[in-house]
Structure 1
């Protein structure tokens, strides 16, 4: 299994069976990955998002890493602390879209910045990737800061969101 190893984190893509476990019972996923069992349960919204990722992984078994959820585990606690989604294989323009979240107890420690720096480096190692995109709600200032720290630049906005990009 692919694992991106940073100073404090392990970041790993969920395959089809991992996503199925995650949707049915998050603790079973933690057990399967050898992580500390938490009280985490996916919300209905999260389950819906994970089901979309599962469908995309089923449709793209060879390149599933580009369509799945990547789990962020804090090494020191061997514990799930967040996730990053890569939402597509590079488009014709070389664009990839990401989304992310971190458990509230682990915010403001630069964990997401560390994880995104490593995962964007991995993505840019694919010669087809030219640009990584993300969006944030306009009022999510901490998320804006994370994206700025990894070098993303705001390039567009709509009524709810700012859109960010990082070029190779």
Structure 2
């Protein structure tokens, strides 16, 4: 199984088979991955976003692009010392004609503010920028989600614009 690794984390990209299992049972998915099952505790609005992405983006696109699935899926964020999934991170596909893709992430509530998202973001960016076509990674945060904005700032993202609800960030290839 392909994964990325940092000092503290493993990032496991989910295949279409994994995503299909998740639709049936999150616990079953975690067991198949060799992880200890953990309650999937997100705020309702974030949970809704994740399930929407699972059904309408990750699963159809990992089936459509099986050899490039890592660009279209959720990567489970797994602290090696706990062997549980504490959240996920992922890209919105291969770079477009302008060399851009987006990134999104979420952590289960009790695992926030421990540096997991920052570390996962750094590793995923390192991997993604190995693709010579990628020039910019874009992220959106809710205007009041300062913790998420901190993750982006620590990883070299720059604020591009904002409105009453969303702040847009970008990270250029160095």
Q: TM-score, normalised by structure 2?
A: 0.92
1:47 corresponds in structure 2 to: 51
Rounded Cα–Cα distance in structure 1 between residues aligned with 2:63 and 2:113:
35
Rounded Cα–Cα distance in structure 2 between residues aligned with 1:131 and 1:150:
13
Rounded Cα–Cα distance in structure 1 between residues aligned with 2:70 and 2:131:
12
1:135 corresponds in structure 2 to: 140
5 Å-filtered alignment, 1:139-158, equals 139-158=144-163
2:13 corresponds in structure 1 to: 13
Shift in Å at residue 61 of structure 1?
1.3
Rounded Cα–Cα distance in structure 1 between residues aligned with 2:72 and 2:6:
22
Q: TM-score, normalised by structure 1?
A: 0.95
SS at match of 2:67: coil
Cα deviation code 1:70-120 (max 9, x no counterpart)? 110111110000101211110011101011001111111111100000000
1:70 aligns with 2:75: yes
Shift in Å at residue 12 of structure 1?
1.2
Rounded Cα–Cα distance in structure 1 between residues aligned with 2:88 and 2:167:
20
Unaligned stretches of 5+ residues in structure 2 = none
Rounded Cα–Cα distance in structure 2 between residues aligned with 1:98 and 1:46:
13
Could you tell which deviates more after superposition, 118-127 or 41-50? 41-50
Q: 2:117 aligns with which of 96, 112, 116?
A: 112
Unaligned stretches of 5+ residues in structure 1 = none
Shift in Å at residue 139 of structure 1?
0.4
Could you tell which deviates more after superposition, 50-59 or 137-146? 50-59
